[in-house]
């Protein structure tokens, strides 16, 4: 086999032929030439057979390492005049527009960043930390399914914090595919309104939208997709009551802190997870804490019983009518509990009964979306924060969106539309 044929095979770059090769400053530098004669705009599908002038632009791209050495692809690019983008250097089939890395290299980095934190990836790939984020944004823009918003029927909407000090992202998931299809910084009515602006049909195909009981998202759906049914799934119903239970625990803990015996305060402070977890998931220590709390009784134990009673309403395999009746009984019980937090929770549930009943009838739950949120939180925690919402959203769509990432070794190269 000829050396040039072997090098072309090792590089795996379509549309080019390898030429001069040299090792300089510890890097392997390969000069290539394009096989095609026509000039292609890197920003659109325009192509021409005429050069703008005789000037050529020296360009280089970082490629996959070879033999442990950094590999750079060198090419002298011609210039063309695009009717839409003006005079610029021609596009290449092996790299994305405005990138100094080949597609294979960027795909490798994007795949790695969904498995490890950015610092680890930047060390492994020998690129800057910020470069990893820029690569993620380019890959998402290139590989994200452009038709992902077409024909949506049942969707879930929820917000998630991507940074402290109340920095939120609104995420929209497709219940059918179980993927996040859209996201934007913010969590108000206008934020979700931007989602409807991007829908090809304006939301006419939507039949149901599951969400929490906050008013912002519900207002956006009523204004932009009035035919869609708003569903408040059981997860968020139970969450209202667990928040009420946590508020009661905090009050009891604060009161116990004023007592001379501080061991009581420590008991209530350490009981948080014992109260919030399902009984089947308790550790031996947490189970013992609950048994002691049951013996002592009091407002906190009554609040815990109310929480468990509501959870059992939705935990059983019951028909919709039975669940609705049990929910009515629970609300009446909460109203008689003389616990302000649970009286408020009962009123909240009654206020949103139409959406709760709709979720029960359709069997629609935000459980899959909450599962995605758990994965998103893991990504954010593993990244130790983001400098911009755009970078956070790019990583979320890479890991949880309708994107299929493959290692370049498994794809057999990247064909280009203009070669």
Residue 264 located in a structural domain: yes
Closest CA to 145 of 404, 412, 416, 406: 404
Please report the pLDDT score of residue 347 as a whole number: 96
* Sequence-ordered alpha helix ranges (H) in 173-297: 189-198, 215-224, 234-256, 262-269, 272-276, 284-296
The structure tokens 């911009």 sit at 388
Residue 412 located in a structural domain: no
**Model confidence pLDDT, tens digit, residues 74-117:** 999 999 999 999 999 999 999 999 999 999 999 999 999 988 88
Residue 350 located in a structural domain: yes
Q: How many CB atoms are closer than 10 A to CB 178? A: 14
**pLDDT(386) > 80:** no
**Model confidence pLDDT, tens digit, residues 240-280:** 999 999 999 999 888 888 877 777 777 777 788 889 888 88
Strand ranges for 83-175 from DSSP E: 86-89, 154-163, 167-174
Of the listed ranges 118-127, 222-231, 369-378, the one predicted with least confidence: 369-378
The stretch 161-187 carries a mean pLDDT of 91
Q: How far is the C-alpha of 203 from the C-alpha of 157, rounded, in Å?
A: 14
Residue 216 located in a structural domain: yes
Q: How confident is the model at residue 417 (pLDDT cuts 50, 70, 90)?
A: very low
- With a pLDDT cut of 90, the percent of the chain lying above it is 59
- Same domain, residue pair 225 and 242: no
- Same domain, residue pair 258 and 275: yes
3-state secondary structure of 370: helix
Q: How far is the C-alpha of 150 from the C-alpha of 152, rounded, in Å?
A: 6
- Same domain, residue pair 238 and 340: yes
**pLDDT(416) > 80:** no
Closest CA to 408 of 95, 126, 127, 122: 95
Please report the pLDDT score of residue 385 as a whole number: 66
For residues 356 and 232, the answer to whether their CB atoms sit within 8 Å is yes
Closest CA to 419 of 147, 152, 80, 90: 90
For residues 21 and 28, the answer to whether their CB atoms sit within 8 Å is yes
Please report the pLDDT score of residue 216 as a whole number: 94
3-state secondary structure of 46: coil
For residues 327 and 320, the answer to whether their CB atoms sit within 8 Å is no
Please report the pLDDT score of residue 12 as a whole number: 87
Q: How far is the C-alpha of 35 from the C-alpha of 23, rounded, in Å?
A: 24
**pLDDT(315) > 80:** yes
- Same domain, residue pair 62 and 113: yes
- Same domain, residue pair 196 and 305: no
Residue 186 located in a structural domain: yes
For residues 82 and 36, the answer to whether their CB atoms sit within 8 Å is no
Residue 279 located in a structural domain: yes
The stretch 119-145 carries a mean pLDDT of 91
Residue 90 located in a structural domain: yes
Domain range spanning residue 14?
3-143
Any idea what the CATH number is for the domain that residue 165 is in? 3.30.420.10
Please report the pLDDT score of residue 127 as a whole number: 94
The stretch 287-312 carries a mean pLDDT of 90
**Model confidence pLDDT, tens digit, residues 191-223:** 999 999 999 998 899 999 999 898 999 999 999
Residue 45 located in a structural domain: yes
Domain boundary among 362, 380, 398: 362
Q: Which residues contact 115 (CB under 8 A, 6 or more apart)?
A: none
Q: What is the DSSP letter of 336?
A: T
- Same domain, residue pair 72 and 172: no
For residues 113 and 121, the answer to whether their CB atoms sit within 8 Å is yes
User: Token digits for 257?
Assistant: 């802190």
Mean pLDDT of the chain: 89
What value, to the nearest 5°, has the Cα angle with vertex 154 and ends 314 and 198?
140
Q: What is the DSSP letter of 144?
A: S
**Model confidence pLDDT, tens digit, residues 43-80:** 999 999 999 998 999 999 999 999 889 999 999 999 99
Q: Read off the pTM.
A: 0.82
- Same domain, residue pair 260 and 318: yes
The stretch 158-176 carries a mean pLDDT of 89
Q: What is the DSSP letter of 91?
A: P
For residues 393 and 134, the answer to whether their CB atoms sit within 8 Å is no
- Same domain, residue pair 102 and 188: no
The total number of structural domains in the chain stands at 3
Of 317 and 310, which is predicted with more confidence?
A: 310
- Same domain, residue pair 201 and 246: no
- Same domain, residue pair 339 and 354: yes
Please report the pLDDT score of residue 411 as a whole number: 59
Length of the chain: 419
User: Token digits for 341?
Assistant: 């937090």
- Same domain, residue pair 245 and 356: yes
**pLDDT(126) > 90:** yes
- Adjacent-strand bridge partners of 63: 71
Please report the pLDDT score of residue 415 as a whole number: 43
Q: With residue 342 as reference, give the H or E element that holds it.
A: helix 340-351
What value, to the nearest 5°, has the Cα angle with vertex 10 and ends 31 and 142?
80
**Model confidence pLDDT, tens digit, residues 6-46:** 888 888 888 999 999 999 999 999 999 999 999 999 999 99
Largest Cα span, the chain: 90
Domain boundary among 371, 388, 411: 371
- Same domain, residue pair 229 and 240: no
3-state secondary structure of 31: strand
Closest CA to 407 of 106, 167, 130, 58: 106
Domain boundary among 371, 392, 411: 371
């Amino acid at each position: 086999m000829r050396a040039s044929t072997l090098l072309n095979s090792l590089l795996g770059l379509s549309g080019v032929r390898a030429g001069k090769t040299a090792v300089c400053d510890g890097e392997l530098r390969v000069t290539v030439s394009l096989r095609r004669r026509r000039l292609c705009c890197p920003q659109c599908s325009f192509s021409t057979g005429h050069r703008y002038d005789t000037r050529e632009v020296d360009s280089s791209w970082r490629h996959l390492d070879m033999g442990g050495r950094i590999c750079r692809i060198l090419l002298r690019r011609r210039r063309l005049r695009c009717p839409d983008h003006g005079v610029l250097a021609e596009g290449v089939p092996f790299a994305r527009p405005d990138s100094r890395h080949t597609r294979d290299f960027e795909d490798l980095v994007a795949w790695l960043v969904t498995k490890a934190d950015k610092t680890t990836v930047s060390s492994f790939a020998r690129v800057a930390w910020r470069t990893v984020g820029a690569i993620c944004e380019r890959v998402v823009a290139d590989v994200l399914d452009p038709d992902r918003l077409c024909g949506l029927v049942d969707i879930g909407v929820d917000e998630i914090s991507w940074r402290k000090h109340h920095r939120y992202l609104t995420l929209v998931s497709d219940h059918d595919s179980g993927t996040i299809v859209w996201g934007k910084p913010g969590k108000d009515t206008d934020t979700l309104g931007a989602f409807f602006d991007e829908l090809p049909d304006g939301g006419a195909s939507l039949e149901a939208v599951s969400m929490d009981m906050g008013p912002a998202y519900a207002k956006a759906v009523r204004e932009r997709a009035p035919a869609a049914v708003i569903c408040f799934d059981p997860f968020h119903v139970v969450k209202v009551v667990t928040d009420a239970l946590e508020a009661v625990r905090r009050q009891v803990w604060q009161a116990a802190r004023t007592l001379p015996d501080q061991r009581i305060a420590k008991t209530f402070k350490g009981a948080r997870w014992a109260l919030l977890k399902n009984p089947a998931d308790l550790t031996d220590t947490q189970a013992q804490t609950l048994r002691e709390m049951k013996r002592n009784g009091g407002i906190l134990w009554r609040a815990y019983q109310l929480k468990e009673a509501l959870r059992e309403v939705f935990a059983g395999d019951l028909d919709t009518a039975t669940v609705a009746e049990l929910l009515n009984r629970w609300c009446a019980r909460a109203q008689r509990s003389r616990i302000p937090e649970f009286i408020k929770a009962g009123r909240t549930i009654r206020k949103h009964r139409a959406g709760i009943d709709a979720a029960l009838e359709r069997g629609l739950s935000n459980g899959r979306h909450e599962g995605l949120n758990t994965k998103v939180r893991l990504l954010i925690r593993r990244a130790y924060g983001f400098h911009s919402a755009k970078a956070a959203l790019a990583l979320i769509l890479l890991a949880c969106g309708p994107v299929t990432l493959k290692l370049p070794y498994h794809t057999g190269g990247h064909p280009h539309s203009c070669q």
